[in-house]
Amino acid sequence: MSDEHGLPLLLVGASGLIGSAVIAMTAQHSDVPVVALARREMVFPRGARLEMVVADPADWHAAIVRARPAALAIALGTTLAAQGGDRRGFRAVDHDLVIAIARAARLAGTRQIILVSSAGADPESRNFYLSVKGEIETALIRMKFPRIDILRPGLLRGRRIGTPRRFERIGQIVAPLIDPFLRGQRATWRSVHARDVAAAILHLAARSGRGRHVHGSVDIRRLAREG
């Protein structure tokens, strides 16, 4: 990758929809060394090229500082349903843990952070999910990483490991029919396949440059094609 230290991309959230897609993509993007940080061992798909660090989330801070990654991709997240409707439980993962991970990376001297957020993320949103995503973006921007790439996909498509999410499953069927009608400013809400988000992450991790960059659904698809 293009960082002067030649250190790999550290992926957090390897077991999720996007993280799994990134792992699968390493078979095609061997030019971007990837290390996955996870809480348990995982079975990799055939051809995947990456290393894995297994640690309890309570120890992730130390693991990140030791790894000193040039770039950090955060594809970590949960849902209110998974937390039994408990907003505190949701924030503990989607907000508190994400910010703790980013702080560890800043301490480790990480040059670039790639955050998977959401279309509509806004700390002032009346929607709880979108307000939390907006708060995370604001917090990470304030950490002043040399480069930050924020991905804001619409509905994510792809096969998720574990229990299917009912409304997401319905959305995956309907979204391709609705996407063509989402134009102009509404195009940001178009659905995106997880493999396109994964390809965008790997493509961005090989980029140099500085500053804050926000990538909506249309941008993510373009980056995936370029990669």
Residues 164-184: pLDDT tens digits? 555 566 666 676 767 667 777
What does DSSP assign to residue 13? -
From residue 106, how far is each of 72, 99, 148, 158, 163 by CA, in Å? 10, 10, 12, 32, 34
What does DSSP assign to residue 95? I
Q: How many of the other CB atoms lie within 10 Å of CB of 65?
A: 14
Largest CA distance in the chain: 47
Structure tokens at 175: 């979204």
Closest CA to 36 of 51, 48, 25, 56: 51
With bands split at pLDDT 50, 70 and 90, how would you rate the model's confidence at 90? confident
Q: How far apart are CA 207 and CA 201, in angstroms?
A: 10
Superfamily of domain 9-226: NAD(P)-binding Rossmann-like Domain (3.40.50.720)
> Residue 128 is which amino acid?
F
Q: How far apart are CA 188 and CA 103, in angstroms?
A: 29
- Residue 202 pLDDT > 60, yes or no? yes
Q: Which residue has the higher pLDDT, 98 or 158?
A: 98
Stretch (H or E) spanning 54: strand 51-54
pLDDT of 103 reads: 96
Q: How far apart are CA 150 and CA 112, in angstroms?
A: 11
Structure tokens at 67: 């790894």
Structure tokens at 32: 């971007």
Least-confidence region, from 36-40, 107-111, 195-199, 212-216:
36-40
Structure tokens at 9: 């991309």
Closest CA to 200 of 117, 120, 108: 117
- Residue 4 pLDDT > 60, yes or no? no
User: Burial code of 151-165, b = ≥16 C-beta within 10 A, e = fewer?
Assistant: bbbbbbbbebeeeeb
What does DSSP assign to residue 48? -
Q: What is the mean pLDDT of the chain?
A: 86
Structure tokens at 37: 């940080």
Asked if 24 and 198 touch (Cβ cutoff 8 Å), the reply is yes
